[in-house]
Structure 1
Amino acid sequence: MNNLLLAGVEVPRVGLGTNRLTPEHTDFIRAAIDAGVRHIDTARLYQGGASEQAIGAANVPDDVLVATKGGWNDGSPQNLHAEIEQSLKALDTDAIGLYYLHKIHPGTPLEDSLGAIKEHVEKGNIRFVGISNATREQIELARSVVDIAAVQNHYNQAERGDDALIDQLAAEGTVYVPFYPLKGGDGSNADKLRWLLERSPNVLPIPGTLNIEHLRENLSVLG
């Protein structure tokens, strides 16, 4: 199947990563949506918040899932509360579709970080929660605090440390979002994306680009 249910939204199984996006690329976001993108992934970290601002300025329609992440440098509840508020403002939204804890910090219990995020779920300004850069054990601990809709980890043809985890998550119905999906490996970018899509039905890569033709090439693997 070329579509997947992620955070309550049916999206094509190729999304858009935006770690280089700035407000000058707002027209590119609109063009990407016109080309068929329905899942845009960003983070508070990216370009010092400018990536989120660009997406917010693009007036993204309701049928496009925007996912963001927070807590890269500091996973404390105080910092996460502040970053979530900043993300809401930058994205110009009352509710973030999917919010990931970007990194787990040894100095802050995972339960505390996710507890802060869960407070915003209960307020209604985060709809679904994900976790990034996480092990199987950390994912299980996270689930004891809040439902986990997606896991975003480093994975591609050349770096396959999550092989077992992907299969476990697939059996449980949890989406796996690989970042750096085109790094290493053999073949063209299209070949690498096809390999990821064939790897497991729960895999949803998010290749980054600022070139609309490259984006269309990425989407073309969906048929």
Structure 2
Amino acid sequence: MFQRINKLFFLVVLISCNTSQESSNNEVAETENENEVVAEEDVNKKIILFYGNSITAGYQLDLDQAFPALIQQKIDSLGFNYKAINAGLSGETSAGGKSRIDWVLQTVPDIFILELGANDGLRGLKLEETAKNLQAIIDSVKKENPEVQIIIAGMMVPPNLGIDYSNEFQQVFSVLADENNAIIIPFLLEGVAGDPDLNLEDGIHPTPEGHTIVAELVWKYLEPIL
């Protein structure tokens, strides 16, 4: 009798374990199927690549607070078939952007938003070199996708390096846009720069509220081509 009870108990435990394992396997399979569906959806989406420095990267903020993520939210809300990729890197110069662009282009964009050059200006680097580096980045992108739509985010620098340098710096972006049939955003931080309520304590990088304004500005130029 005691042996029969033990055998019955063992059988119940065995069935329970097998059922649990089967359930677990089913859950894993369902999760893998869901991931495959998500991955397939992403593969079918066109790519918007945001390539920039700390502004794009969302310096000192969560990634979902940076303006590229806010752009993705707008895209999703409208059902557009695009995926925004944030390839921003804090401290990036145009030379740094040139050196890493080939690696980034493992994902080929349909829309390329270039936000580099500000750190060159803040360091007083030669604008001829900045222009060459930015053009090299654009050339690399066009080589991968000749049909790519390019948006160039213009920037400004303080006049402490001289009014001539500041003016020439601003012109770098508009000239590049003209030469590459690109869309130009005259000043990415329009309505944000200089406002202490919209910038971090350093006075340079936008707060989450500042990024919301930047996203609205970028969206104005981006939406018509989606």
Same structural fold, with TM-score higher than 0.5 when normalized by the shorter chain: no
Please identify which structure carries the higher helix content: 2
TM bracket, shorter-chain basis = 0.3 to 0.5
Q: TM-score, normalised on structure 1?
A: 0.39
Q: TM-score, normalised on structure 2?
A: 0.39
Between structure 1 and structure 2, the one with the greater Rg is: 2
Please identify which structure carries the higher strand content: 1
